[in-house]
């Protein structure tokens, strides 16, 4: 596996909170990266600019 794309699962019509989805996605990707050293690119697929902003904040917390 060289790249990993991760969508915001269930945050559309199912109404799962985007902030919670971002936290789960980031934690899951972090785990995958620790298990697969071949992953060189991770793409978080966001449905809107608002979703992107939530992911940017969540990723900022991870980096800080």
Predicted structure pTM score: 0.81
Backbone angles phi, psi at 4, to 5 degrees: -135, 125
Give the total number of structural domains in the chain.
1
- Can you give the residue range of the structural domain that contains 45? 3-63
How many angstroms from the chain centroid is the CA of residue 44? 5
- Per-residue pLDDT of 37-61, as tens digits, reads 788 899 999 989 999 999 999 998 8
As a whole number, the mean pLDDT across the chain is 88
Q: What is the mean pLDDT of residues 12-29?
A: 92
Residue 20 pLDDT class (50, 70, 90 cuts): very high
List of residues 6+ apart from 10 with CB closer than 8 A? 16, 21
pLDDT at 64 over 70: no
């Amino acid at each position: 596996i060289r790249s990993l794309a991760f969508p915001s699962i269930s945050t559309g019509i199912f109404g799962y909170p985007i902030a919670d989805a971002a936290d789960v996605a980031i934690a899951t990707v972090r785990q995958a990266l620790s298990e697969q050293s071949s992953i060189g690119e991770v793409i978080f697929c966001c449905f809107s600019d608002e979703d992107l902003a939530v992911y940017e904040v969540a990723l900022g917390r991870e980096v800080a």
